Structure 1
Amino acid sequence: MVREANKGDAQLCLEKAKIALRDKDYEKMQRFLSKAQRLDPECDISDFPTDIPSDDKTSSSDPSESTNTYSHHDHYEDSTNNLRHRPHHSRSHSKNKSPHRNRSKSIVREYTDAEMKEVDRIRHCKDYYEILNVPKDADIKLLKKNYRILALKLHPDKCKVPNAAEAFKALGNAYGVLSDSEKRKRYDTYGSEDMQNISNRRNDNGFYDYDVGRGFETEFSAEEIFNMFCNSAFGGQDHRRNQYTYQRRRQHYHTQDNEANMLIGNLVNLVPLFLFLIATVLLQLYVGQAPYSMTRREPYIYERFTRIHKVPYYVKEDFVSQYGSKLTQFESTVEGEYINDLRIKCYKENNEKQSMIWRANALRDSKLRERADKLYMPNCQKLNEIYTY
């Protein structure tokens, strides 16, 4: 990873050296060439002239006097002091290289200065907000807008700047975190502290481990986020390789959607029941209170007995005036409710007796069997009296 990063930084130095050569700033050109060779001894500098006028040569090309070309030293600090020095054999000083060949080569770039500047900016950003070029209170609409613009510019299949892939990954990671409310909240709370700890930690080669594309894992890769936004064919084989993972995630979400739809469907099926219960309550309120009660409570404080089975029930003060003409039918309803209640209680008494008999037989306990045979069942007795009346 460090070797690849060094090569990318060396390419940037070569590009800046080409710009200096175009501006005839030979001192600056030599400075960038020296730095490029320190970062990557195998880099090709044969495109640059070796016969520089003596007036333009300065001692500033000495590696010890070169300046750091990055805006944030805490992110990409010059590592030459920590690397082992190796002999540099510049291809431009080889006797086998002909001046004619050097002059015949033309400097051709597949990217613009604006693209290189944008990649360099993202690689030196300190946080995700700076990567997307938005304030910390930016809403999702602004995040989407800026991500779409930057992603179209920096997609690796379109932008050929060295390290464009890393910048594009950092861009997708930044959007993946900031567009998710929970991840954004966690990032705002702990992100700055974590990155400060990372930026202060060097690896064995003297480089800082800080990388704006790391620290938080996004649910989608930068490529997947880009494809969801732009629906483009930039991805090529990489897009097809990521498509399977993306489809599996979609299937997972589709399953969750089906479960949610089933839950909603079940709730919809319960709507008629809820409506029926509400209608019953409203009807009860409209009709009024029940005309009687089987227990004494307000306002049912007047005790009465049915004429046939002498079943006790309680009514309100105005009972006779309202139901006197329908008393026979009314008392039949009261006795029916009373008999149903006796049946339920008698069933429980029978179950209790049968359980005692079963235990007595299993344990061969004669006393328990005697208690079971003599068990008093008042509700069954009352029910029997009614049926034998």
Structure 2
Amino acid sequence: METANKEQAMVCLRKAEKARDDGDLDKAMRMAEKSLKLYPNDNQKAKDFLSELENCREAGEGRGGGGNEGVRQRQSDGCPEEEEEERGGEGERANHTPEQGEAVESVLRCRDYYEVLGVSRDASEADLKKQYRKLALQLHPDKNRAPKADEAFRAVSNAYGVLSDKDKRKRYDMYGESGVRRSQSGGGASFHRGFHGDLDPEDLFRSFFGDNFHFDDMFMDIPRRRRTHFSYHHGNRREPLSGWFQLFQMMPVFLILFLSLFSTFIYPFLYSPPYQFYRTSSHPVERYTKLHSVPYFVKESFGQEYSTAEAVRKLERDVLSVRKQDLREECYAARRRQGFRDVPKDKMPKSCQEYRRLTSSKTRG
């Protein structure tokens, strides 16, 4: 229970930080207080965040402005910086490669969601997932330090969120083309206001790559403002789940794998049917029922397992019963394909003729 509360508290804290970045101090305060309420012990991040919000609000009110104005001027208030990134400063530009910049620009030049992901309009779910994984890793703000990488990353996340949902994809194909085209002067901003996925970019990324995935080993010098702006810094990651909790989450997967292996490799050795209607390596011996001469195949040890005439008769009654049932179903399907038209007996499907043969004669015991 404590672990679950801690996870939920971290979710609330992330929402609070996002609300703070969007300029909604009231919502940020509510979510931060909820985080602290869910997990009051050892939740210093929430406490520090609340103190930061109070400072921002007091500074904004001291200048005679509202809370949102205080957020917009938070560089002088002691709140996290964003101004330099929004201006696309030279320091930021110096920290990315030409390839990273081209990857960002390539996405921002796109005019619809299919172009963003680089897929055709009949792309399958597997195609969408493949392209999302590729682009998300290229554009993740913790890896790609080019200006507007976060915007391109949001575009990719939003495109996948829409196209992977059947209903949203249908609506987008019918109505959304003109509504999501970004204006030439907006630099792509209006492009993201059409449809939206159910998960925010952070949660969607983690659903693909896991909670503990990060780029820190490769990119230790990522500017702090980049992380703060898009909420991917260390303090914003979910705390690693405990080993037992992770194992518990994986139990359904283990169970499915076990059942699959059991049915494929173990079950045939534990149970083998006494007969088959086709030859197999385990049932190589062909026999015919005494009544109607229906062929069936048995194991080489059949003579030892069915050593009495009564045992054989009982088995063959079962063979005939199963065979009749199979033929009846095959006959019905064939007649349905014919539209149940009246046809001569010799034109009837073979399954129907064989079923008639097995059911027309009197059964001898």
Q: Shorter-chain TM-score: which interval? A: 0.3 to 0.5
Larger RCO: Structure 1 or Structure 2 (Cα < 8 Å, ≥ 6 residues apart)?
Answer: 2
Q: Normalising to structure 2: TM-score of the pair?
A: 0.34
Rg larger in 1 or in 2? 1
Q: TM-score, normalised by structure 1?
A: 0.33
